[in-house]
């Protein structure tokens, strides 16, 4: 019996893959033959997975590699909309590449219904730079019960107007207000950024606030809005596309570790003549907001006072390090059932 006949009879009852299923296997095999180091181990893994294929010879392997991949080995082409594929197919070469890919993914997601006015938002965050957070962690490790207000969990009323707010905090919006602001944002990036800047205005120099450049204002205002939960996925897609157009925005070309020990995308911006940069952290699995950091990039000293001594800051020091590990809509304050949760990756053990 010739080799081609043996190959056809290995899984005669298996369905014939279409071109979309064959393409990934053909591309990887071609790269392996061309000597691409990223794919060199592919052919070796394929031979080890099934001795029957290895015996057929190089010619048969070249002409039928995709068929072997989907029928003999049993590996199916991944679903292009699944989080696992998103995580394994990141493009961090530029802000446009990373954020537009995130937007493409989010635009394919179903928009869930808006939360009811009587529901709550359950947020869990890890504060990696706070002395108070470290003290809480040590108490928990010692088995001491920590009051809820000092723990990592907090509950925010979705329609929180009755809770009151400091009128001087121009960044504050209830979860309901933020949801509707995001949902109404225009498609055009320039118009979207103008709308977000108007929603979260810059500081008043008369009140001691430093004047922001337009680009710094855009980055800050977008970051403030993204910290709200929930935001409709199609609105978040528009926000990411607009964020990619802000001057000075960059993306770290590798995943970084956040305060919870997870690997996340870092979209960063440093204002001219500033000593620190701001990192907006994005979950590579579902492209949701994952946290924020402020990192020192140039040495500087702080001015001391009676309450706090002067300190010297060096490049790499992290001043703010917040990792959001969980966000969900729940029915009551204190509720952790998290119906409608976007997913909890969990803290690093």
The residue that leads in pLDDT, 138 or 9, is 138
Residue at 346 is within a domain: no
Q: Are residues 73 and 99 in the same domain?
A: no
Q: What is the pLDDT of residue 62?
A: 35
Reported confidence tier of residue 137, pLDDT bands at 50, 70, 90: low
pLDDT for 216-245, tens place per residue? 999 999 999 999 999 999 999 999 999 999
Give the span between the Cα atoms of 94 and 82, in whole angstroms: 23
Calculate mean pLDDT across residues 161-184: 76
- Decide if 232 contacts 182 (C-beta within 8 A): yes
Give the span between the Cα atoms of 331 and 166, in whole angstroms: 26
pLDDT for 8-36, tens place per residue? 455 444 444 444 444 444 444 444 444 44
- Tokens 């001043």 found at: 319
Q: Are residues 108 and 240 in the same domain?
A: yes
Q: Are residues 219 and 123 in the same domain?
A: yes
Q: Are residues 256 and 224 in the same domain?
A: yes
DSSP for 100-113 reads: HHHHHHHHTS--PP
Give the span between the Cα atoms of 287 and 336, in whole angstroms: 23
Phi and psi at residue 323, in whole multiples of 5°?
-115, 120
Residue at 164 is within a domain: yes
Give the span between the Cα atoms of 332 and 180, in whole angstroms: 21
Give the span between the Cα atoms of 269 and 95, in whole angstroms: 11
What are 294's strand-pairing partners? 278, 320
23 CB-near residues (< 8 Å, 6+ apart): 66
Q: Are residues 60 and 164 in the same domain?
A: no
Structure tokens, 105: 């993914």
Residue at 347 is within a domain: no
- Decide if 155 contacts 122 (C-beta within 8 A): yes
Residue at 336 is within a domain: no
Residue at 294 is within a domain: yes
Give the span between the Cα atoms of 136 and 169, in whole angstroms: 28
Residue at 335 is within a domain: no
pLDDT at residue 285 tops 80:
yes
Q: Are residues 112 and 157 in the same domain?
A: yes
pLDDT at residue 55 tops 70:
no
Give the span between the Cα atoms of 25 and 303, in whole angstroms: 60
Give the span between the Cα atoms of 349 and 336, in whole angstroms: 20
Least confident among 100-109, 160-169, 182-191: 160-169
Q: What is the pLDDT of residue 226?
A: 97
The number of folded domains in the chain is 2
Q: Are residues 151 and 285 in the same domain?
A: yes
Q: Is residue 180 helix, strand or coil? A: helix
Give the span between the Cα atoms of 244 and 264, in whole angstroms: 17
Residue at 349 is within a domain: no
Closest CA to 263 of 296, 291, 224, 229: 291
What percentage of the chain's residues is helix, strand, coil (to nearest 5)? Answer: 40, 15, 45
Phi and psi at residue 268, in whole multiples of 5°?
-125, 155
Q: Are residues 9 and 42 in the same domain?
A: yes
Question: Would you give the DSSP letter of residue 1?
Answer: -
349 CB-near residues (< 8 Å, 6+ apart): none
Mean pLDDT of the chain: 74
Q: Are residues 36 and 99 in the same domain?
A: no
Q: Are residues 218 and 258 in the same domain?
A: yes
Q: Are residues 150 and 246 in the same domain?
A: yes
Count Cα atoms within 13 angstroms, Cβ side, for 140.
12
pLDDT above 90 coverage of the chain, percent:
47
Q: What is the pTM of this model?
A: 0.68
- Decide if 181 contacts 173 (C-beta within 8 A): yes
For residue 60, the enclosing domain spans 3-77
Q: Are residues 91 and 32 in the same domain?
A: no
């Amino acid at each position: 019996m010739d080799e081609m006949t043996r190959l056809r009879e290995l899984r005669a009852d298996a369905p014939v893959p279409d071109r979309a299923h064959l393409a990934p296997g053909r591309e990887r095999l071609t790269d392996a033959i061309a000597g691409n180091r990223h794919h060199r181990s592919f052919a070796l893994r394929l031979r080890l997975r099934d001795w029957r294929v290895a015996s057929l010879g190089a010619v048969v392997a070249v002409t039928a590699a995709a068929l072997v991949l989907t029928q003999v080995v049993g590996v199916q082409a991944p679903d292009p909309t699944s989080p696992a594929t998103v995580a394994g197919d990141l493009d961090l070469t530029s802000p446009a590449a990373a954020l537009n890919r995130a937007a493409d993914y989010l635009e394919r997601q179903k928009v869930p219904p808006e939360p009811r006015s009587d529901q709550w938002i359950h947020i869990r965050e890890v504060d990696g730079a706070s002395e108070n957070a470290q003290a809480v962690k040590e108490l928990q490790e010692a088995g001491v019960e920590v009051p809820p207000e000092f723990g990592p969990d907090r509950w925010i009323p979705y329609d929180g107007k009755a809770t009151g707010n400091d009128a001087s905090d121009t960044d504050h919006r209830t979860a309901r207000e933020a949801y509707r602001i995001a949902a109404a944002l225009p498609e055009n990036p320039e118009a979207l950024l103008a709308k977000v800047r108007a929603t979260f205005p810059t500081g008043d120099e008369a009140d001691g606030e430093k004047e922001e450049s337009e680009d710094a204002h855009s980055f800050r205002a977008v970051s403030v809005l993204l910290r709200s939960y929930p935001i409709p996925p199609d609105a978040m897609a528009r926000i990411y596309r607009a964020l990619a157009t802000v001057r000075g925005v960059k993306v770290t070309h590798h995943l970084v570790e956040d305060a919870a020990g997870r690997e996340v995308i870092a979209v960063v911006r440093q204002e001219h003549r500033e000593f620190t940069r701001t990192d907006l952290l994005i979950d590579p699995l579902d492209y949701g907001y994952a946290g924020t950091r402020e990192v020192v990039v140039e040495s500087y000293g702080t001015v001391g006072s009676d309450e706090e001594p002067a300190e010297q800051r060096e490049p790499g020091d992290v001043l703010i390090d917040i990792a959001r590990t969980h966000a969900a809509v729940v029915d009551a304050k204190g509720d952790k059932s998290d119906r409608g949760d976007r997913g909890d990756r969990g803290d690093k053990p």
